[in-house]
Structure 1
Amino acid sequence: MIKAVYSDKAAVVQILTESFKENKSVNYIIPQDGDRTTRIRSLMEYSFDLCFHFGKVLLSQDRKCCALLLHPDKKKSNLKTTLLDLKLITKGIGLGNVRKTLSREAFIKQFHPKAPFAYLWFIGTDPAHQGKGIGSELLQQIIEASRQDQRPVYLETSTQRNIKFYKDAGFSVYNESMRFGYPLYFLSNN
C-alpha cells in the first residue's frame, strides 16, 4: 500500500470516475445530464482533496486501485474547505441538488459512531484490472492500518454485489435503507 502524494490526484480521480460511473449513490447526487462524467470527476476531485487533508489517500502497489479514507473527527471547516464545497456545488452536484445532498449526508452521519473511525468513502480499481484481487488486497491493508490506528472502518454501498466483497474482508451490515429510492447498505468491521 502506498500513501498517495498530491501529484497522484489525476490518476486517483481517473480510477474512481471510471469505477463509479454507474454507482447509484453517486448518480443520486449528480445531475443526469450531458456533463455527468465531468460532474462525477468533480465529485472525485473534491473527495480526494478532503481525504488528502483530513484522512488518507491510498494506492495499491501497482497503482491500479485506490481508496479514499476520511477521518471525520479531524475534518475542519475553513476557507479552503468552503471553497472546495463551492466548487463541488458549481461543477459537480449543481445548486439544485444541494438540499438533497445535504439531507443524504445528514441521514448517513446519524449511523456513524461518536468515537474516531475511518470512513471508507471510495475504493475503486481500474476497470481493466478488476477481478484480480487488487481491491481485496488493498482493503485488507486498509483494515490492518486502521486497526493499528485504533479506528474501525465504516462505509456504505449501494451496489449489492459489493456486499460479499466487504463481508469476505470481515465487514458486517449494520443497517439498510431504501430512503433514497435505491438500497443503501451500511457496513463496519467493528
Structure 2
Amino acid sequence: MTDISTGATVRQATRGDTEGLISVLAKAFFDGPVADWLVPDPTDRRTVYQRYFELALNHGLDKGHVDTTADLSAVAIWYPRTDPEPKSALEYSAAMEAATGVYAPKFTLLDTMFEAFHPSEPHHYLAYVAVNPEQQNRGIGAALLSHHHRQLDALGMPAYLEASNLRNRELYVRLGYRAGPPMILPTTGPTIWRMWRGQPNAARPEGFPPSGLLPRRSAR
C-alpha cells in the first residue's frame, strides 16, 4: 500500500531484505540515551549493534510480523501478544547474550524491565521501528506504523510500545497513543515512556492497562 503524503510503499519484509534492514536498524538506533547506556563505547556499539539487530530482525521474521518500505528505508517489527510464551524464548536469550558479549547484563536488564511493566491485555507490541537517518523527518515512520494500525483497528486490537525520547513520544501521541507511567533505567539510565494505543470503543478508553508478568515477550 502506498501512502499518498509520503510516497512510501509499505509491504511485508522477506528474508531477502535482511541485509538492508539490519543496517537501517543499527544506524537508526546508534545514537540516543538508550544506546549510550547500553554500550557506552561507540566503536564497540557498531559491532554489538550489527550482531544484535541481525538477531532481532531474524527473530521478528520468524516469530512476529515485519513491515518495510519498497526502498528498504524503514522497518517495523511487531509481535502479537496474545499467546503463551514460545518455547524459543530461552534460546533467544542465550543468543542475545552471545551477540552482546560483555554488554549482555544491560541488555538483559532492559529486557527484564520491559517485560515486568508490559501490559497484561492482549495487544500487538511494536518492538522496533527504524528509519534510515538520511530519510528521517519525511513522515516515513508514521506511514509505516499507520499501515499496521489500520489492520489493528479492523481487528479491534490495541498496540503497545516503549518510547526512549520525548521527540518519539510526541510522534506516538499524534498517532493515537497515550503515555503511561514511565520507567527509569538504573545506574543513571534514561527514562522510557510506556505508550498504549487503545480502540475508540474500548471499555477503558482513557486509562492505561495494568501490567502483569505475562509470558515473556519474544522481541529481544
TM-score of the two chains, using structure 1 as the length reference:
0.86
The aligned counterpart of 1:184 is 192
1:3-152 correspondence runs (5 A): 3-30=12-39, 32=41, 34-74=43-83, 76-78=86-88, 82=91, 84-91=92-99, 93-94=100-101, 96-152=102-158
From the superposition, tell whether residues 50 and 59 of structure 1 become closer, same or farther in structure 2 (CA, over 3 Å): same
Check whether the contact 1:117–1:154 (CA below 8 A) recurs between aligned residues: yes
Query: Could you report, residue by residue, the CA deviation over 1:110-141 in whole angstroms, capped at 9, with x for unpaired residues?
Result: 32222332111111111111111111111111
Question: Structure 1: any 5+ residue segments left out of the alignment?
Answer: none
The AA in structure 2 aligned to 1:143 is H
- CA contact under 8 A between 2:38 and 2:103: conserved in structure 1? yes
C-alpha distance 54-167 of structure 1, shift in aligned 2 (>3 A): same
Q: CA deviation at 1:73?
A: 4.3
Instruction: Confirm or deny: 8 A CA contact 1:118 1:152 kept in the other structure.
Output: yes
Deviations 1:29-76 (A, max 9, x none): 346363211211111111112211111111024321111112344552
- Aligned 8 A contact 2:37 2:190 in 1: no
| Residues 26, 121 of structure 1: alpha-carbon distance in 2 compared, 3 angstrom cutoff | farther
Give the alignment partner of residue 156 of structure 1, picking from 150, 158, 162: 162
Q: Is the 8 A contact 1:68 1:120 kept in 2?
A: yes
Amino acid at match of 1:101: F
2:34 and 2:152 mapped to 1: Cα distance? 25
SS at structure 2 position matched to 1:44: helix
Q: Secondary structure, in 3 states, of the residue corresponding to 2:43?
A: coil
* Distance (Å, rounded) in 2 between the aligned partners of 1:26 and 1:77: 29
Using the aligned pairs only, state the percent identity: 20
SS in 2 for 1:122: strand
Q: Is the CA contact (8 Å cut-off) linking 2:96 and 2:104 kept in structure 1?
A: no
Within the alignment, does 1:172 sit opposite 2:178 as a pair?
Answer: yes
Structure 2 Cα separation of the partners of residues 31 and 90 of structure 1 = 18
The Cα of 1:99 is off from its aligned counterpart by 3.8
Larger radius of gyration: 2
Partner Cα separation in structure 1 for residue 181 and residue 35 of structure 2:
19
Note closer, same or farther for the CA distance 1:81–1:45 as it changes in structure 2 (3 Å cut): farther
The number of residues matched between the two structures is: 186
CA distance in 1, matches of 2:156, 2:61: 19
Instruction: Give the letter aligned to residue 42 of structure 1.
Output: R
Specify every segment of 5 or more residues in structure 2 that has no aligned partner in the other structure, as ranges: 1-9, 199-220
Distance 1:150 1:188 in 2: 14
> Cα RMSD over matched residues?
2.2
Shift in Å at residue 81 of structure 1? 6.4
Query: 2:71 and 2:104 mapped to 1: Cα distance?
Result: 36
Distance in 2 of aligned mates of 1:155 and 1:25: 15
TM superposition score normalised by structure 2: 0.75
> Is the CA contact 1:26–1:40 (under 8 Å) kept in the aligned structure 2?
no
